[in-house]
């Protein structure tokens, strides 16, 4: 596991990092050819591990973790020579997600217990992304399923699908007022007021951005953009992204929502084709970048213990910001410690890479995004 790569790591980590932060790095570029070669080797190991773990098999699932593994496989397919194994594994997962959604089970947890909308929306967004790689028959099925789920978010149910004889909902998107664009957290039965939640709003924005990319329907573009505006306007003055759950700020949960929000910001850039929105985001998010700079821990990561996995998303976000704004040379050195850790076989194992699906999916996304920004959101 990682043996071939590790042979190059003794000097290779320093090589990658020196390329990353050297004076030869030009604006709008983070890695040179040698570093990208090593990243491709790393991505190959990750994709091989994901493909062999069979995310569409008995041990697979239909939530956020599997959606990230799926996106990594498609990125690997694009970047690593169109390896059909990766594409076939990704399509098998899409088929199962589509089947589950058709039975109104996509947003249902174990034993039929309803769960929040965040994982459901990310799974639906991944299925929309998979549409780009599907054959004609699958395209029709996937789009029907994803648009059906989007209709649930916008219009709700006449009757609650999980509780017999209970009144349904008129949808989970707040369409007016100070919280316009925000999305509620879970299936709420006959509750008439939908309170905003950060994670579900970010996930919904990614979903609607993917649907806009596929259908070009302006309604999806507006929904995605409104969600982005609410996410940014809900931040604290110091740039911190708060975790808001059903209208209430939850102290200490910021790191839990950062992955969702940073994905939403990037999806808007890569999928909506809205230069005004992107320009506004980049200006407004500068305080958030500074907050990340201040909150990096002593190991050069973010968070504590298992929370440090969020580092992958923060690195992707910082790279996205760096490549889309006037060059800020304070950003590349912030990426150095994480790659040094992940490229070291011993530390990578302790981090859970090529051992645990949630972590491996995160690192897979980060590796692919360093090779080609936007590749985990759209077809090459």
Residue labelled with tokens 């707040």: 174
The residue with greater pLDDT, 128 or 35, is 128
Q: How confident is the model at residue 158 (pLDDT cuts 50, 70, 90)?
A: low
More confident residue, 233 or 3: 233
Residues 35, 18: Cα–Cα separation, whole Å = 9
Residues 28-65: tens digit of each pLDDT: 568 888 889 999 999 999 999 999 987 766 556 778 99
Q: DSSP letter string over 343-375?
A: TSHHHHHHHTTTT-HHHHHHHHHHHHHHHSTTT
- If one compares 373 and 62, the residue with the highest pLDDT of the two is 373
Model pLDDT for residues 257-270, shown as the tens digit of each residue: 999 999 999 999 99
- Token pair recorded at residue 46: 């990750």
Q: CA–CA separation, 50 vs 80, rounded Å?
A: 14
When comparing pLDDT for 380 and 143, which is higher? 143
**pLDDT value of position 60:** 64
72 pLDDT higher than 90: yes
Q: In this predicted model, which residue has the larger pLDDT, 28 or 83?
A: 83
Q: The tokens of 86 are what?
A: 């990766």
How do residues 269-281 score in pLDDT, each as one tens digit? 999 999 999 999 9
pLDDT tens sequence across 293-308: 999 999 999 999 889 9
Nearest to 215 by CA among 147, 316, 117, 114: 147
In the chain, domain spans:
113-274
The average pLDDT across 179-200 equals: 78
* Per-residue pLDDT, 32: 84
pLDDT digits (tens, 9 = 90+) for 237-254: 999 999 999 899 998 889
Tokens linked to 285: 């998010």
Cα–Cα dist 160/109, whole Å = 15
pLDDT at 185: 79
pLDDT for 288: 96
**What percent of the chain lies above the pLDDT cut of 70?**
81
Under 8 Å CB-to-CB from 252, ≥6 apart: which residues? none
Instruction: Give the pLDDT confidence score for residue 55 in this predicted structure.
Output: 79
**Percentage, residues of the chain above pLDDT 90:** 68
Q: How far apart are CA 38 and CA 13, in angstroms?
A: 9
> Is a pLDDT exceeding 50 seen at residue 12?
no
Per-residue pLDDT, averaged over 200-216, amounts to 98
End-to-end CA distance of the chain: 29
Q: What average pLDDT does this structure show over 96-115?
A: 55
Q: What pLDDT was estimated at residue 108?
A: 42
Rounded to an integer, the average pLDDT of 80-105 is: 85
Give the mean model confidence (pLDDT) for residues 209-234: 98
pLDDT at 144: 94
Q: Report d(CA 141, CA 138) in Å as an integer.
A: 5
Is pLDDT at 163 greater than 60 in this prediction?
no
How far, in whole angstroms, is CA 109 from its chain's centroid? Answer: 20
| Secondary structure of residue 225 in the 3-state scheme | helix
Q: Which comes out higher in pLDDT, residue 285 or 58?
A: 285
CATH code assigned to 113-274: 1.50.10.20
How distant, in Å, are the alpha carbons of 21, 51, 120, 269, 319 from that of 324?
A: 18, 32, 30, 10, 9
Q: What is the pLDDT of residues 320-353, one digit of tens each?
A: 999 999 867 889 999 989 999 999 999 999 999 9
Q: Report the range of poorest mean pLDDT among 106-110, 144-148, 359-363.
A: 106-110
Angle value at C-alpha 128, between 265 and 269, nearest 5 degrees: 20
Question: What SS3 class is residue 321?
Answer: helix
């Amino acid at each position: 596991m990682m043996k071939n790569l590790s042979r190059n790591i003794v000097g290779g980590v320093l090589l990658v990092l020196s390329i990353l932060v050297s004076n030869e790095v030009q604006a709008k570029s983070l890695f040179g050819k040698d570093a990208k070669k090593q990243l491709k080797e790393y991505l190959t190991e990750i994709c091989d591990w994901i493909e062999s773990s069979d995310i569409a098999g008995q041990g697979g699932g239909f939530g956020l973790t599997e959606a990230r593994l799926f996106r990594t496989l498609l990125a690997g397919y694009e970047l690593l020579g169109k390896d059909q194994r990766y594409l076939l594994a990704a399509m098998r997962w899409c088929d199962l997600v589509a089947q589950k959604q058709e039975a109104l089970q996509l947003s249902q947890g174990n034993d039929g217990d309803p769960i929040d909308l965040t994982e459901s929306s990310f799974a639906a967004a991944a299925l929309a992304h998979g549409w780009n790689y599907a054959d004609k028959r699958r395209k029709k099925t996937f789009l029907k399923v994803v648009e059906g789920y989007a209709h649930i978010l916008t219009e709700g149910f006449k009757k609650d699908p999980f509780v017999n004889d209970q009144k349904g909902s008129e949808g989970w998107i707040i369409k007016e007022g100070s919280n316009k664009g925000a999305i509620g957290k879970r299936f709420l039965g006959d509750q008439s007021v939908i309170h905003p939640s950060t994670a579900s709003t970010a996930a919904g924005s990614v979903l609607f951005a993917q649907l806009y990319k596929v259908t070009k329907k302006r309604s999806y573009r507006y929904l995605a953009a409104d969600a982005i505006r609410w996410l940014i306007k809900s931040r604290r003055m110091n740039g911190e992204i708060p975790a808001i759950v059903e209208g209430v700020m939850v102290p200490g949960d910021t790191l839990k929502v950062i992955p969702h929000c940073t994905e939403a910001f990037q999806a808007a850039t890569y999928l909506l084709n809205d230069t005004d929105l992107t320009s506004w985001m980049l200006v407004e998010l500068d305080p958030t970048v500074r907050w990340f700079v201040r909150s990096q821990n002593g190991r050069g990561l973010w968070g504590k213990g298992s929370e440090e996995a969020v580092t992958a998303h923060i690195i992707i976000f910082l790279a996205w910001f760096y490549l889309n704004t006037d060059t800020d040379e304070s950003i590349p050195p912030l990426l150095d410690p994480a790659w040094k850790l992940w490229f070291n076989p011993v530390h990578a194992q302790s981090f859970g890479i090529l051992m645990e699906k949630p972590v491996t999916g995160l690192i897979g996304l980060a590796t692919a995004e360093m090779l080609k920004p936007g590749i985990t959101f759209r077809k090459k």
